[in-house]
Structure 1
């Protein structure tokens, strides 16, 4: 099931399970994962995009190997909040992935996630070649961490 609302996504998740964050690009997919308590996002790998079935097979393998309970997919909105062709492509990817992988999927606004990842790598004095190799998985971690932080706030609000 695909969710635009994070609270509905939270209701669909197992009580304890890791989440996977995805930064979908035209040539690569950045992948990050959380711990089972959903507090910390860690970059995992960058999947080179080929055909959808091959990409989905790799993501399925990663999800099964790490007992993933749900997927947070970065949605590339325009700066004014509208959705353009890249957002529509991301939504289509989510529909196709959902048909193959029985996990809840939620969209997370990814505006500026790549810029934040780039800034962090520059501050860490990472070489240009290394930045190119890891930027997508770092951006996926930023996307996932944003969702994790919001999920934690929703949980706190629910216990008050």
Structure 2
């Protein structure tokens, strides 16, 4: 397991959830929800968070269908992530499977008594926590960096 803090991002149309972990990669915690409608402003905020947290990598949830295919949402995330990778270089950016994370986060918040209206502001952060926790577990299990690396276009 590589030592170092990581950031995780759950990209949505309206909001972008951000989570971080401790340098030992033990515990993922929510950071903030970035408004997502203004993509350039969101990218700038994520770049600022990368500067502040100094992660060894950023993992971004890639939405896939239940059968593993990719649709329009995945294409949108891939485009967003290519631009993010350019912005935060040389910090590596990786795409990881995020199937069911928002559903799992929503169920967890509901089970803990968070109302749906209030929950919207934190559900994306909770999904980012789940994405990061899953990526950390994958690396611990396999000894390999999780997901697929995003190449920075020249």
Q: Same fold (TM over 0.5)?
A: yes
TM-score (norm 2): 0.87
RMSD: 1.5
| Cα distance between partner residues in 2 of 1:66 and 1:59 | 10
Encode CA deviations 1:37-72: one digit per residue, 9 max, x unaligned: 111111111000143321111011111111111111
Matched with 2:55 is 68
| Cα distance between partner residues in 2 of 1:45 and 1:74 | 16
Which runs of 5 or more residues in structure 1 are unaligned?
Answer: 1-9
Q: CA deviation at 1:126?
A: 1.1
Matched with 1:122 is 110
How many pairs align?
Answer: 143
Q: CA deviation at 1:129?
A: 2.3
Match of 1:40 among 27, 34, 53: 27
**With CA pairs under 8 Å and 6+ residues apart, which has the higher RCO, 1 or 2?**
1
Superposed structure 1 runs of 4+ greater than 3 Å apart: none
SS in 1 for 2:34: strand
